[in-house]
């Protein structure tokens, strides 16, 4: 309720959805997806590291931890390549 009393805050809340072009929407969407991918990959890397530390020499657990770390590396790779993939899709669609 107090946000409506301060004009700057009320105006800022309504301008969040404004975009100038389709290019800006695509860029914003790409940034969100990359952020989610990096966050998820970091979570997987943390889980894999903890599993590896707690494996205690059990070959099955060590292999599961390595697999989790591999998935984290794949996630980081996809996050790095995401802007390139968006550019390729833009050229195919003709938005670039």
DSSP 11-75: HHHHHTT--S-HHHHHHHHHHHHHHHHHHHHHHHHHHHHHHHHHTTT-HHHHHHHHHHHHHHHHH
* Backbone phi and psi for residue 19, each to the nearest 5 degrees, phi listed first: -135, 150
Per-residue pLDDT at 21:
78
Domain map (residue ranges) of the chain: 20-93
What's the pLDDT at 17? 60
Look at residue 58 in the predicted model and tell me its pLDDT: 92
pLDDT of residue 6: 52
- pLDDT, mean of each 10-residue run, the chain (96 residues): 52 59 81 90 95 92 95 92 84 76
* Residue 20 in tokens: 């100038």
Identify whether the C-beta of residue 81 lies closer than 8 Å to the C-beta of residue 51: no
Local structure of 96: helix, strand or coil: coil
Q: What is the pLDDT of residue 90?
A: 78
């Amino acid at each position: 309720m107090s946000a409506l009393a301060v004009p700057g805050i009320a105006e800022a809340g309504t301008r969040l959805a404004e975009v100038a072009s389709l290019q800006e929407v695509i860029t914003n969407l790409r940034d969100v997806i990359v952020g989610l991918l990096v966050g998820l990959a970091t979570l997987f890397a943390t889980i894999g590291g903890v599993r590896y530390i707690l494996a205690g020499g059990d070959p099955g657990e060590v292999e599961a931890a390595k697999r989790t770390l591999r998935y984290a590396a794949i996630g980081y790779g996809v996050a790095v390549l995401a802007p390139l993939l968006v550019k390729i899709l833009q050229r195919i669609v003709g938005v670039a």
